[in-house]
Amino acid sequence: MILYTVARLGLVIVLAAIIYGVGHLAGVDVPILVAAIFAVVIALPLGMLLFKRLRTDVNSAISAVDADRRAKRDALQARLQGSPRPDGSGDPRS
C-alpha cells in the first residue's frame, strides 16, 4: 500500500514539475499551486492506467485482511453467543 501511495504522489510531483517547466519555457509564470492542482487532476486517471498492477495488488491485500477480520469477528460472535466453534471443535467455553 505504501508503494502505491508513493507512486501516486511521485506522479503528481513529476506532472507538477512538467507543467511548471513547460510554463516557464513558454514564458508564462505558472504558480506552483496551480501546477499542483492541474497535476492532481491529470494524475487521477493517469495513475489508474499506469499503476493498475499495484492497485490490484493493494485490492487483493485489502480483501485478504477483510476476510481474515470477518472470520475472526464471526468466531468471536459465535463464542459470545455460546455456539460451538466454527471448526466444530471442543467446548465453546474453553
Q: In the prediction, which pLDDT does 4 show?
A: 84
Task: Report d(CA 14, CA 19) in Å as an integer.
Answer: 9
pLDDT band at 86 (very low <50, low <70, confident <90, very high): low
Residue 93 pLDDT > 60, yes or no?
A: no
Angle subtended at Cα 5 by Cα 1 and Cα 42, rounded to the nearest 5 degrees: 140
* Domain membership of residue 57 as a residue range: 2-80
Domain total for the chain?
Answer: 1
**Does the pTM exceed 0.75?**
no
Does 87 map to a domain?
Answer: no
How do residues 25-44 score in pLDDT, each as one tens digit?
999 999 999 999 999 999 99
User: b vs e for 39-65, b when ≥16 Cβ sit within 10 Å of the residue's Cβ?
Assistant: beebbeeebeeebeebbeebeeeeeee
Does 72 map to a domain?
Answer: yes
Does 39 map to a domain?
Answer: yes
Check residues 86 and 61 and name the one with the higher pLDDT: 61
Does 90 map to a domain?
Answer: no
- Which residue reads 489508474 in cell numbers? 48
